[in-house]
Amino acid sequence: MLAGASKAELEQALVEAEWSMEQIADGLRSIADVDFVIPVPTPKPQPLARDAFLYLITFGALYVSGFHFGALLFQFINLTFPDQLGQSELMTLDFMRVATAALIVAYPLFISVSYYTNRSLVLNPVQRTSAVRRWLTYITLFVAACVITGDVIVLIYTLLSGGLSIRFLLKIVVVGLIAGAIFGYYAWAIRADDKALAR
């Protein structure tokens, strides 16, 4: 640190200068833990087109997988609790084929690209600060939070209107579980990134 000051002393000085805790954490992350006369900055990730491509593929495959997994479960519910005024069994089976085909393509793609990018993060932790990755993660958290909120609103509205059925309730649960799982995983990933970068 500059003039022999420690990170703790620098943090205290920044607190006294009325920096927010988030600004302090970001600032301290940019300084490497090496003894030198002046602060040595940590390396910054280069915004590579390859990284943007990989993260767009990852999150795109996640959205397709989540949507079609929910659609497939919806069709199982439709078959188990048929609605006389709803779609025919032939249409239900057709929707199931479409959802299954999408899952066969999108889910393995999501798993394989996620594995590759996560392995890169272990080998090169500085990639955790990738702007593309963090933006897409927060957008995904926002979308999942909106879906969960809408799901609860629809459930409460249906309860108040007296139109709740087991068929409808199961679909509400499916949407809530899928969106909740996605939100929980990526909220955990953000915390894991912050912990790794704080070391």
Q: What is the pLDDT of residues 123-133, one digit of tens each?
A: 777 777 788 88
Pairwise pLDDT comparison (14 vs 51), residue with the higher score: 51
Q: Which helix (H) or strand (E) holds 192?
A: helix 166-198
The predicted structure's pLDDT at residue 2? 47
Unique residue bearing structure tokens 């302090």: 24
- d(C-alpha 75, C-alpha 91), whole Å: 9
**How far, in Å, CA of 65 to CA of 105, rounded?**
9
List Cα–Cα distances, 139 to 56, 132, 149, in angstroms.
12, 11, 15
Q: Which two tokens stand for residue 57?
A: 């593929």
**Minimum mean pLDDT range among 3-7, 8-12, 66-70:** 3-7
Query: At 99, is the pLDDT very low, low, confident or very high (cuts 50, 70, 90)?
Result: very high
Q: For residue 177, is pLDDT > 90?
A: yes
pLDDT above 80 (res 154) = yes
**DSSP state letter for 3:** G
- Compute the average pLDDT of residues 93-102: 94
More confident residue, 84 or 150: 150
Judged by DSSP in three states, 90 sits in: helix
CA angle, 98 then 102 then 103, to 5°: 115
How far is Cα 185 from Cα 118, in angstroms, rounded to an integer?
14
Question: What contacts 24+ positions apart, CB below 8 Å, involve 90-99?
Answer: 95/71, 96/72, 98/68, 98/71, 99/68, 99/69, 99/71, 99/72, 99/75
Residue with tokens 């188990």: 80
Reported as a pLDDT band with limits 50, 70 and 90, residue 29 is: low
The pLDDT value recorded for residue 15 is 75
Number of H helices, E strands in the chain: 6, 0
Give 195 or 6, the one with higher predicted confidence. 195
- What does the chain come to in residues? 199
The pLDDT value recorded for residue 153 is: 95
For residue 4, what pLDDT band results from cuts at 50, 70 and 90? low
Distance from C-alpha of 199 to C-alpha of 40, rounded to nearest angstrom: 16
- Lowest average pLDDT, out of 43-47, 138-142, 184-188, 191-195, goes to 43-47
Span of 1-15, 53-67, 81-95, 144-158 with lowest mean pLDDT: 1-15
